[in-house]
Amino acid sequence: MYMWGLKIAAKVLPISKPTLFIGKDALKQLCHSVSIMGINKVLIVSDQGIVKLGFVKKLMFEFERVGVHCHVYSDVEPDPTYDHVEQGLALFRQQHCQAVVAIGGGSPIDCAKVIAACATNNKPVQRLVGLLKVWKAPAPTFVLPTTSGTGSEVTVAAVVSDPKTHAKTPVMDPKLVPIAAALDPSLMLALPAHITAQTGMDALTHAIEAYLSGNATLETDRYAIAAIRLIDENLPKAVSFGQNATARQNMALASYYAGLAFTKASLGYVHAIAHTLGAKYGTPHGLANAVVLPHVLEFSKSATQERLAVLADLLELTNSHVSDSIKAQAFIDYIRDLQGRLDLPTHFEHILHEHISELAKQSLHEARWNYPVPRYMQQHECEQLILALANPK
């Protein structure tokens, strides 16, 4: 009944889409858009890696050129905590900023979205965690993704971590969707191959879990299918030829579509387990998704056979006349083959056997009240799956 309620809510709650600028001049277009809204002072939220690449300096130059003054908070780290939000918020208030602009991967974008929410709601981060706790519209938020994976530029969620427990805590509200996003391939050309692979698999996982979700609709299916097609055609190219601007732009669009899909359809056990591994071991989120994905697809196959068969036909993996069972297995084999082509691992040596029971418990707890999965998993089944992640065949 709870999942049914979530499905109804996803259909009736108005969820806006950001104005989208795409292409080699997208950064300039976004800066111009901010300036004509009467905004003259912004807080740029980023991390040191993006600063070193010169992207923050480039963004500041374009803002200053159109008369928008900038202040920079660039101390965001992977899996940002409440402390990062509070530090950025203090600078936002101290400098009397009017808007927040995020440039970077999912971590700076999520941090920026929560800073913007705290700026107008006068609540500590802890009181915004959960569903529909952002009562007032956040400060205007604009994003420039430098990776193609999280879809944070379009989603209603932002994930920040409790600095004491290291638990990842989501803030979820339609008001968190940014006003505008710039998908500029020039910001992605320097992304290393292994990060390109991991973030690309993150986007693919978003699309697949949304497509297999009990809350999937015709709308979310269209976005998921578009994302899967684009990733199949462009991710290997982006990994092998990082300077391929067309592949980079297509991957950015795929991430955007996957974000639109899972914002309404939600996710599944892959993300629940990946989040748990990230909290316990610091496993990069995209990498965790990539390794966990085929195992969860195998577990869910009996309940998703027809849907997986559609995806196999979409990618022309088998003869169209074979059974759905064969097609479903072909799609799972395709995911494993893609892992190999992208030079991704198939297991994690850092998973300790004495942690497996608790990892499974935490994963199931996250999934139970958040994800409309196609087949429910019991404790012993989740433990066996995580054990398989720790032991290569």
196-223: pLDDT as tens digits: 999 999 999 999 999 999 999 999 999 9
Note the pLDDT of residue 2.
54
Alpha carbons 203 and 370: distance in angstroms, whole number: 19
Enumerate the β-bridge partners of residue 131.
Answer: 172
Beta 41-45 vs 99-104: how paired, if at all?
A: parallel
Produce one character per residue of 95-112: b if its CB has 16 or more CB atoms within 10 Å, e if not.
Answer: eebbbbbbbbbbbbbbbb
pLDDT of 323 higher than 60 = yes
> Is the distance from CB of 78 to CB of 107 less than 8 angstroms?
yes
- In the prediction, which pLDDT does 15 show? 77
Global pTM reads 0.92
The answer to whether residues 28 and 64 touch, using CB atoms and an 8 Å cutoff, is: no
CA angle 285, 290, 293 (to 5 degrees): 110
Rounded distance, CA 41 to CA 52, Å?
23
User: With contact defined as beta carbons under 8 Å apart, do 327 and 316 qualify?
Assistant: no
> Could you give the dihedral angle defined by the CA atoms of residues 364, 366, 371 and 373, in that order, rounded to the nearest 10 degrees?
-10
Half-sphere exposure of 330 (CA within 13 A, CB side): 20
pLDDT given at position 25: 94
Domains of the chain (ranges; CATH) run 12-187 (3.40.50.1970), 193-389 (1.20.1090.10)
Query: What does the buried/exposed string (b/e) look like for 381-392 if buried means 16 or more CB atoms within 10 Å of the residue's CB?
Result: ebbebbebbbee
Q: How sure is the predictor about 10, in pLDDT bands with cuts at 50, 70 and 90?
A: low
pLDDT in tens, 154-197: 999 999 988 888 778 889 999 999 999 999 999 999 999 999 99
Q: Which residue has the higher pLDDT, 123 or 13?
A: 123
For the segment 77-99, the average pLDDT, to the nearest whole number, is: 95
Amino acid letter, 288: A
pLDDT interval class at 33 (50, 70, 90): very high
What's the CA gap between 124 and 240, in Å, rounded?
Answer: 44
pLDDT number for residue 9: 60
Does residue 321 come out as left (phi exceeding 0), alpha (psi in the -120 to 50 range) or beta?
alpha
Averaged over 255-261, what is the pLDDT? 96
Q: Is the dihedral of CA 217, 213, 291, 393 positive or negative?
A: negative
The proportion of the chain whose per-residue pLDDT surpasses 70, expressed as a percent, equals 96
**Secondary structure (DSSP) of 273-321:** HHHHHHHHH---HHHHHHHHHHHHHHHHHHHHHHHHHHHHHHTT-S-TT
Q: How much is the average pLDDT of 348-377? A: 93
Closest to 180 measured CA to CA, from 205, 147, 143: 143
Check residue 5 and give its pLDDT: 60
CA-closest candidate to residue 367, choices 388, 348, 381: 381
How many angstroms separate the CA atoms of 111 and 169, rounded? 12
DSSP letter for 44, please: E
**pLDDT number for residue 8:** 63
Q: Is the pLDDT of residue 346 over 80?
A: yes
pLDDT at 327: 97
Residues near 1 by beta carbon (within 8 Å), at least 6 away in sequence:
none
Phi, psi at residue 220, to the nearest 5°? -65, -30
pLDDT on residue 97: 98
Is residue 149's pLDDT more than 60?
yes
Q: pLDDT at position 167, please?
A: 78
Query: How sure is the predictor about 79, in pLDDT bands with cuts at 50, 70 and 90?
Result: confident
- pLDDT value, residue 84: 96
Is 69 a residue whose pLDDT tops 60?
Answer: yes
Provide mean pLDDT across the span 63-89: 95
Q: What is the mean pLDDT of the chain?
A: 94
Placement of tokens 């692979």 in the chain? 197
Measured CA to CA, the distance from residue 20 to residue 340 in angstroms comes to 33
Query: Environment class of residue 321 by beta-carbon count within 10 Å: exposed (0-12), middle (13-18) or buried (19+)?
Result: exposed
